[in-house]
Chain A
Amino acid sequence: MKVAVASGKGGTGKTTLSVNLASYIAEKEPVVLVDLDVEEPDSALFIKPDHSSMLPIYKDIPVWDAETCQLCGKCQQVCAFNAILKLGREILVIPQLCHACYACTGLCPTGALTMQPVQMGELSHSTHKNLSYVESRLLLGEEQAVPLIKQTIFFVSHTFSKGELILFDSPPGTSCPVIEVMLNSDLIILVTEPTPFGLHDISLAVETAKSLDKCVAVVINRAGIGDNAVHDFCKANDLPLIAQIPHQREIAELCSNGELVYQKFPEVQRELDKIASYIAEFQGK
């Protein structure tokens, strides 16, 4: 079963919840934690994996062959992303704009454009006892997170068995990277903080998840700050509020050092246990 930990707003505690929950569950049973926030992956700071295996991840982009090209300009005409320019007697490819749709190469009458792999990121994975950890990292200057997320999910689906619990630490926001993660998840746990920012962004995340027909549960982090509007929102929308992690400066201090918090804070462990039980029950259904 695949569970996405997502949020809408950044900085609400997605990574904190993901790493603590994965480590807590791994005390008893196997779990796979996958950091899909490929633009800024931070889970490893807490998991501290050693002996990671690295895999370069590629995307395909067209490469031009001047010899076979007739300069008909079909490639430029069919590229919807302005990634191909015909300049005089040259065809110029802009790799950052290419979406790897293959239209140019497929429609070129002389086969002058062939798709060739270029690296866009790297995937690393490691296993320690019950906890397997997978992370992908987008290379700097690469604009598109989605192809890397897709390939990472593909890797995870083919490396681990269907029965295993897989937790996705999702990217922030509600646009294409998160949608890619949500599409591949059975359950979405939205982490929010009880503030107007948290409320605004979770309402967008809920709408997004619902538009994809996905089941949603809510966790409030930093419970005690702000107001009750997120509670009211959950009630009004029939969303299960499955746990509330209390706000304490000491928890923030531990997190700042890349440390897990649940061993030192029984009140956090109690909430993680509620989440783990909810997931187990959901899986049973």
Chain B
Amino acid sequence: MKEIVVISGKGGTGKTSITASFAMLAGPEIVTADCDVDAADLHLLLKPDFRIEHDFYGGFAASIDKSLCIGCGICASVCHFDAIVENDSIYSVLPIHCEGCGYCTEVCPSLAIQMHDRFTGKWYDSTIKTQGRMIHAKLGIGADNSGKLVAKVKKEARLIAERLGAEIILIDGAPGIGCPVISSLSGAALTVLVTEATMAGFHDLKRVYELVKKFNIPAGCIINKVDLNREIAEDIRDFLKSEGIPVLVEIPYDEIFYQAMTAGKTIIEFSHNAIAEKMQKAWSETLALIG
């Protein structure tokens, strides 16, 4: 079982549209996972049926029992997140600031503070339009710990893949370089880097690739919107060459990405065209890379 993680550093490079096209081309044999949990869009193209829904509790928050609180304020003095506030000698927790460390519960002399599980979001086990399985999630509004929800999605995708004997898990990764993307990358056999021929696209590609390199994960790259800026496209090619990263495919700027998305379709379904052929090539190259 091998995990292919599609990431981009920068948003809006076409990562999700490309992942969805790969899922269509791969068919029902693979398991798909959406690890971009706080702006999850893959379901808009792959139309999962949200068949099984689970709540996920990924952290803790403190709460103060007012009947036990003696108003000493020790809790507020030790909290490094300014999460405990006083109003007329009555102390309470601001959940949005509470990191769930539990320091306050340890120091409370009247045992008035308890830690409870905090709702992080929901995750789903679905069947998508290819009849394949997809694990995806929705982060709760204002919720913390998206990295843990990403880890949960990956874990469930692995369990399903094992049970079904699927050889490939295709993962739509998170943007950035912080905990959600680090969590997306753990255990990956290959990363597909999606970039665009813009200064910002190139800058973010270099940063996220440093991370991929740190984890020793092999990579291939798709250069999208390649004709938007020919000089930057050339700089990207030089960079990829110097790092030994194969170019899976180059895709010209095309509004079909928006048109297909608006129709709720992947590029593959939308029409038989040059871009769909590029996707086909990119997927074959990706499969060749993981062997």
Q: A: which residues have CB within 8 A of B?
A: 8-12, 15, 37, 39-40, 42, 45, 78, 80-81, 99-103, 106-107, 138, 140-145, 171-177, 179, 183, 193, 195-197, 200-201, 204, 207-208, 211-212, 222, 225-227, 249, 252-253, 255-258
The answer to whether B100 touches A252 (Cβ under 8 A) is no
Please choose the segment from B161-169, B171-179, B278-286 that sits at the chain A interface, where 4 or more of its residues have CB less than 8 A away: B171-179
Q: Knowing A197-B16, A226-B261 touch, does A174 contact B178 (C-beta < 8 A)?
A: no
CB of B38 closer than 8 Å to a CB of A? yes
Bound: A39/B225 CA distance, A? 23
CB of B141 closer than 8 Å to a CB of A? yes
The answer to whether B179 touches A257 (Cβ under 8 A) is no
The answer to whether A101 touches B11 (Cβ under 8 A) is no
The answer to whether A171 touches B176 (Cβ under 8 A) is yes
Residues of B within 8 A of A175 (CB): 37-38, 139, 143-144, 146, 180
Bound: A212/B97 CA distance, A? 12
16 contacts between A and B (CB under 8 A): A10-B10, A39-B177, A42-B203, A45-B199, A45-B203, A80-B101, A80-B115, A143-B182, A144-B178, A175-B180, A179-B142, A193-B258, A195-B261, A211-B141, A222-B258, A225-B262
Number of interface residues of B (CB under 8 A): 64
Interface residues of B in 81-112 (CB under 8 A from A): 81, 96, 99-103, 106-107
Residues of B within 8 A of A78 (CB): 102-103, 106
Please choose the segment from B122-130, B152-160, B206-214, B243-251 that sits at the chain A interface, where 4 or more of its residues have CB less than 8 A away: B206-214
CB of B27 closer than 8 Å to a CB of A? no
The answer to whether B10 touches A11 (Cβ under 8 A) is yes
Chain B CB within 10 Å, residue with most, of A11, A100, A107, A177? A11
Q: B: which residues have CB within 8 A of A?
A: 9-13, 16, 37-39, 41, 44, 60, 78, 80-81, 96, 99-103, 106-107, 115, 139, 141-147, 174-182, 196-201, 203-204, 207-208, 210-211, 214, 225, 228-229, 232, 253, 255, 258, 261-262, 264
The answer to whether A103 touches B103 (Cβ under 8 A) is yes
Q: Knowing A138-B177, A195-B262 touch, does A172 contact B103 (C-beta < 8 A)?
A: no
- Chain A residue at minimum C-beta to C-beta distance from B99: A99
Residues of A within 8 A of B96 (CB): 179, 183, 212
Instruction: Give min CB distance, B151 to chain A, whole Å.
Output: 12
The answer to whether A12 touches B11 (Cβ under 8 A) is yes
- Chain A residue at minimum C-beta to C-beta distance from B228: A256
The answer to whether A226 touches B258 (Cβ under 8 A) is yes
The answer to whether A106 touches B103 (Cβ under 8 A) is yes
